[in-house]
Amino acid sequence: MKPPAPPKKAEATLETMRKVFTLPESDDSTLAKLDREISENLVGFLRDRIVAGDIAPANLEQDFLETKIPDDPLFVAEQTEFLLTKVVSQSVHTWSPYFVGHMTSAIPYFMVPLAKIMVVLNQNLVKIETSKAFTPLERQVIGMLHRLVYGETAACDDAFYDRWTQDFHQSLGNLCSGGTVANVTALWVARNKLLSPKGDFTSISDDGLAAGLRAHGFDELVVLVSKRGHYSLRKAADLLGLGRKHLLAIPVGDDHKVDVSAMARVAREQRARGRGIVALVGIAGTTETGSVDDLNAIADLAAELGCSFHVDAAWGGPTLFSATSRRLLSGIERADSVTLDAHKQLYVPMGAGACLFRDPAALNAIETHANYIIRAGSRDIGKHTLEGSRPGMAMLLHSGLRILGRRGYELLIDLGIGRAAHFAEVIRASDDFELISEPELNILTYRYVPAAAARVLERGDTASRAEANRVLDELTESIQKRERARGKTFVSRTRFEVARHGGEVLTVLRVVLANPLTSPQILSDILDEQRGYAAELLESEGYQRQLDELSARLG
Amino acid sequence: MKPPAPPKKAEATLETMRKVFTLPESDDSTLAKLDREISENLVGFLRDRIVAGDIAPANLEQDFLETKIPDDPLFVAEQTEFLLTKVVSQSVHTWSPYFVGHMTSAIPYFMVPLAKIMVVLNQNLVKIETSKAFTPLERQVIGMLHRLVYGETAACDDAFYDRWTQDFHQSLGNLCSGGTVANVTALWVARNKLLSPKGDFTSISDDGLAAGLRAHGFDELVVLVSKRGHYSLRKAADLLGLGRKHLLAIPVGDDHKVDVSAMARVAREQRARGRGIVALVGIAGTTETGSVDDLNAIADLAAELGCSFHVDAAWGGPTLFSATSRRLLSGIERADSVTLDAHKQLYVPMGAGACLFRDPAALNAIETHANYIIRAGSRDIGKHTLEGSRPGMAMLLHSGLRILGRRGYELLIDLGIGRAAHFAEVIRASDDFELISEPELNILTYRYVPAAAARVLERGDTASRAEANRVLDELTESIQKRERARGKTFVSRTRFEVARHGGEVLTVLRVVLANPLTSPQILSDILDEQRGYAAELLESEGYQRQLDELSARLG
């Protein structure tokens, strides 16, 4: 009998290293098969390869503890097997129409082979020498998005786009990795514009913030935004040296829209205290409730104050495709800058965002040069971006905009808004759920409220109402965690003050309806599943007993 | 006779919109065919689909002027056809071993199907609810990179990595879109650390830069780096409010390494003027010449001054894999933070970078929370990152590190360094090329110097030498542009002061040798091609006549 052959081991030789740069795995390798499986049946791949299941994160971590990089190479097949069993199987099914908790949704299937082409070409958009046609392509995409936002104003006519889209001395905006970089870029430009050259002070870019404050006689700089503003604005305030406490959170009304008269009051008061206003920020689709601020009112205020006006439309921007709903964003075309996320409602893969500027010269406020690329007068886009090297995501965005077209996006947007309105109806009509925020776009919040709690909230005194809400907060959080752990469906949760509960901060469930495959039936199923968890938890965690006691005290 | 059928047009209906989220194109569609073509013969796809050719950028732009988003959808096939003829064919062949001008090179073929899996899964790493196993996977990858940099220090033993890699209260670093975001993050952390809480001043994050300067009695803040520092540091200085003139460019020696005694002098002088030192920055692989600063000497100085020490190892970091060359980076393990680019010498696709911190608590200086994700105490990585939503690039990095292994990367690194040394020999041995910067890693610079110019440079007076160098600058730039336009091979160009030419700023050709398929023969071919362009240009542009006149004056 022959002894068993020694186990085969991958070897690192110059020859094998050169091969990994040129030769695909053989047709019957695991990786080649997966590649075909995705091409032939993407939905099946996701359904079969992702194992929904209740694994505690701490247990999940056990497979990822080793930090020594192996000395010798692994076979591709071995790594692929590891990824399949430990990573792919334990990833989140973001394409599932049952996952309506976050802003990451399914994407059109054609994005997948196009992304493969993008990776194969491996262009770097920082400069034309590593991107060639991708550079004018990206400028075109920025022009298209700019036109979506500003194209109905008198200034932005055909001649405007003919003049500026491909003019490499200016930029109508940036593509970037996501909304955070977009918001940071917008406030960076606004800060630098506010602290304009003055006397000895040549520019904030060169001389810095402290010198700029001195030159302009400002005590501090502030940014004003609704308290529903995205957390990336807090990062921006830190990064830009303003300080997060100078990002002033303005109260919102019952409709979660910023109180513009409060914003005006705060702005005037800040100015009287010697503070410079970097920007007023309006939100077109708050992350938590999908609400859109009164952008025209903020634009009026910004005009009166003579300060920059930025709109964070990371979520809601594509609502501009909808003939019915675009009026909600009226006033966005008066913004100096607008953030849009492409990996959200433009349905391109993670991570792609954009920041658009009304004034083609605005980005000159942050222009940077080097000796080997992005030289003055060059066509290199990197002159005007916060990031350096960037991938060719413009190709995917370009394809989405053309393959779906305005009507395609309009249908998707209208569908989501319609679904949210319908779901709100269903929640309102049910005895045991409470609608917390009315959907204006395709986001809404709600919570489960059992009969005993409803009685206390209706008839109890302040103290017992507060107590009932504490129990409901725990219940809501537990329902969300149990649902997430079971892995069949997913909604998210957040906390904010709810006007009709005396402004108390409550924990609520949050639903984002961007996947066109999420049907009314699925939404009903989700409520039923949550009812089931609620029943379990009311019993097992003693919430029912606590609520019954509160209810009994009503007499 | 039947009339011809009206042309088919794509339609936007709810049904077609739902289909694009679920159904792949039919097997014989253009896109499906391309997908298979890449899987079966990636090298052939790139060779056949990219058309090298001399198209002026202004002509290229003609295909990308339209900024109206079409109302009706395009068929996928129509868009694919457009991309093939106008974008793919006119992109840069970054995989070509003849393209040795920039830092974007070929990547191992397995990255392509893995990237497809990444796109299909479409995870968002900002939070565990949209990334599940990808979150501990990313922490593992950060641990692996951290260990590559710090793993040989006494503090960073097995127990250190067991303790911190998966501890979600801290982070050993960030993955991000690239080296620019990494450098910005590092200096952000360093700035916030310097302006620590003091009296009424609670933190720079909250109170801002101006209050921090007042609390600490600093006039301004400065960052010190060699004049070869990457331009992203200038962006960081602007963004963080320091001002670019407070990024102090320290002279370099003939070897392009920072003059550490000059750095010390400047640092002490700045401190005496009441300025706070945010960080000393060392470079491990300058972008232009691939030189590595004396990191130990900078670490000593930082220790003496008690300030942060950051190393920009975006290019050179993976040299740590090389047993022979890792000594060049000695001292990097003493840095507070280190930037590494994954889309450079870790050979993952665009755009992936990392910033590592020796102290697991360092990133707490920029921690951010929100109500719906990245809550305090959550496992969400987004608490500690500049960016928000981010893709699952960690999977590609993890695969590169394991499939190539330490030995695989070592071979690639050693190969590039060896090739550069060989190419330098060839240039030195040739009569008509001048080696400008000796390669320390795998980057070198040189220029074409015809005989007449060589004579003037050797025997001429200051004025005629300067004049000859002006002619050579033009010649070098023209050679580089002609070579780029012809599209068969590519080198880049830059400008810096050259010690052996009396510190004159000269235009030079720059070569980056990271593609393992770039052979000595290819490098010879590139020199021959450049000789050919030089001969053409000397004649057609009158450079030869100018140089002959200068030479004749020597008498």
B256-273 average pLDDT score: 98
Tell whether A157 lies on the interface with B, counting CB pairs under 8 A: no
Tell whether A405 lies on the interface with B, counting CB pairs under 8 A: yes
- Closest partner CB to A87 (pick from B139, B395, B401): B395
* Of the listed ranges A182-186, A227-231, A365-369, A383-387, the one predicted with least confidence: A365-369
Taking alpha carbons only, the member of B352, B288, B333 closest to residue B497 is B288
- Closest partner CB to A243 (pick from B34, B69, B208): B208
Minimum Cα–Cα distance from A391: chain B residue: B350
Q: Which of B87, B118, B171 to mutate against chain A (most A CBs within 10 Å)?
A: B87
pLDDT at site A19:
84
The two beta strands, A276-283 and A308-312, are parallel
Does the beta-carbon distance from B211 to A220 stay under 8 Å?
Answer: yes
- Residues 345 through 364 of chain A touching chain B, CB cutoff 8 Å: 349-351
| Structure tokens belonging to residue B166 | 């998966």
CA B508 to chain centre: 19
Tell whether A271 lies on the interface with B, counting CB pairs under 8 A: no
Whether the per-residue pLDDT at A554 is higher than 80: the answer is yes
The two beta strands, A221-226 and A276-283, are parallel
Q: Which residues of A touch B36 (CB under 8 A)?
A: 39
Whether the per-residue pLDDT at B100 is higher than 70: the answer is yes
A289-306 average pLDDT score: 98
Q: Which of B13, B18, B21, B411 to mutate against chain A (most A CBs within 10 Å)?
A: B21
Does the beta-carbon distance from B405 to A147 stay under 8 Å?
Answer: no
Question: Is the Cβ–Cβ distance between B94 and A118 less than 8 Å?
Answer: no
- Residues 416 through 475 of chain A touching chain B, CB cutoff 8 Å: none
A232-247 average pLDDT score: 98
Q: Three-state SS for A224?
A: strand
Question: Is the Cβ–Cβ distance between A419 and A518 less than 8 Å?
Answer: yes
Tell whether A136 lies on the interface with B, counting CB pairs under 8 A: yes
pLDDT bucket at A202, cuts 50 / 70 / 90? very high
Mean pLDDT of chain A: 95
* Of the listed ranges B50-54, B219-223, B317-321, B427-431, the one predicted with least confidence: B50-54
pLDDT at site A415:
96
Tell me how long chain B is: 555
pLDDT at site B8:
66
Question: Is the Cβ–Cβ distance between A505 and A511 less than 8 Å?
Answer: no
Question: Is the Cβ–Cβ distance between A547 and A450 less than 8 Å?
Answer: yes
Q: Three-state SS for A12?
A: coil
Q: B505-529 b/e with 16+ CB inside 10 Å = b?
A: ebbbbbbbbbbbebeeebbeebbeb
Minimum Cα–Cα distance from B380: chain A residue: A57
Distance CA A379, CA B57 (A): 8
B259-288 average pLDDT score: 98
- Closest partner CB to A132 (pick from B92, B139, B243): B92
Distance from CA of A421 to the nearest CA of B (A): 18
Distance (Å) of CA A263 to CA A6, A267, B101, B172:
74, 6, 52, 40
CB pairs under 8 A between A and B: 581
- Closest partner CB to A245 (pick from B178, B207, B234): B207
pLDDT at site B260:
98
Q: For residue A258, what are the β-bridge partners?
A: A252
Q: Which of A65, A355, A371 to mutate against chain B (most B CBs within 10 Å)?
A: A371
Distance from CA of A143 to the nearest CA of B (A): 5
Distance from CA of B480 to the nearest CA of A (A): 11
Tell whether A153 lies on the interface with B, counting CB pairs under 8 A: no
The percent of residues above 70 in pLDDT, for chain A, comes to 99
pLDDT at site B21:
85
Does the beta-carbon distance from B243 to A405 stay under 8 Å?
Answer: no
| DSSP E strands, A425-503 | 433-437, 443-448, 492-498
pLDDT bucket at A353, cuts 50 / 70 / 90? very high
Minimum Cα–Cα distance from B344: chain A residue: A389
Minimum Cα–Cα distance from A146: chain B residue: B67
pLDDT at site A247:
98
Does the beta-carbon distance from B17 to A516 stay under 8 Å?
Answer: yes
pLDDT at site B16:
84
Minimum Cα–Cα distance from B18: chain A residue: A516
Question: Is the Cβ–Cβ distance between B186 and B339 less than 8 Å?
Answer: yes
pLDDT at site A317:
98
Distance from CA of A536 to the nearest CA of B (A): 23
**Residue B262 or A58, more confident:** B262
Element (H, E) at A226: strand A221-226
Does the beta-carbon distance from A14 to B411 stay under 8 Å?
Answer: yes
Question: Is the Cβ–Cβ distance between A540 and A131 less than 8 Å?
Answer: no
Distance (Å) of CA A358 to CA A170, A184, A330, A335, B434:
12, 17, 15, 7, 48
B288-295 average pLDDT score: 97
Distance from CA of A307 to the nearest CA of B (A): 19
Mean pLDDT of chain B: 95
Distance (Å) of CA A155 to CA A150, A158, A160, B158:
9, 9, 7, 63
Distance from CA of A405 to the nearest CA of B (A): 4
pLDDT at site A2:
61
Distance from CA of A38 to the nearest CA of B (A): 8
Taking alpha carbons only, the member of B410, B422, B416, B320 closest to residue B100 is B416
Tell whether A495 lies on the interface with B, counting CB pairs under 8 A: yes
| Structure tokens belonging to residue B216 | 């600490």
Q: Which of B36, B47, B51, B69 to mutate against chain A (most A CBs within 10 Å)?
A: B69
pLDDT at site B37:
94
Threshold 0.95, pTM exceeds: yes
Whether the per-residue pLDDT at A468 is higher than 70: the answer is yes
A67-75 average pLDDT score: 94
Distance CA A52, CA A46 (A): 11
- Closest partner CB to A407 (pick from B71, B341, B490): B71
Tell whether A117 lies on the interface with B, counting CB pairs under 8 A: yes
Q: Which residues of A touch B181 (CB under 8 A)?
A: 177, 181, 386-387
| A325-342 tens-digit pLDDT | 999 999 999 999 999 999
Distance CA A386, CA A314 (A): 18
Distance CA A423, CA A100 (A): 12
Whether the per-residue pLDDT at B209 is higher than 90: the answer is yes
Backbone angles phi and psi of B358, in degrees to 5:
-60, -40
- Residues 32 through 51 of chain A touching chain B, CB cutoff 8 Å: 32, 34-36, 38-43, 45-46, 50
Distance CA B539, CA B408 (A): 47
CA A292 to chain centre: 15
Distance from CA of A100 to the nearest CA of B (A): 11
Distance from CA of A304 to the nearest CA of B (A): 27
Scanning A209-259, the segments in alpha helix (DSSP H) are: 209-216, 232-239
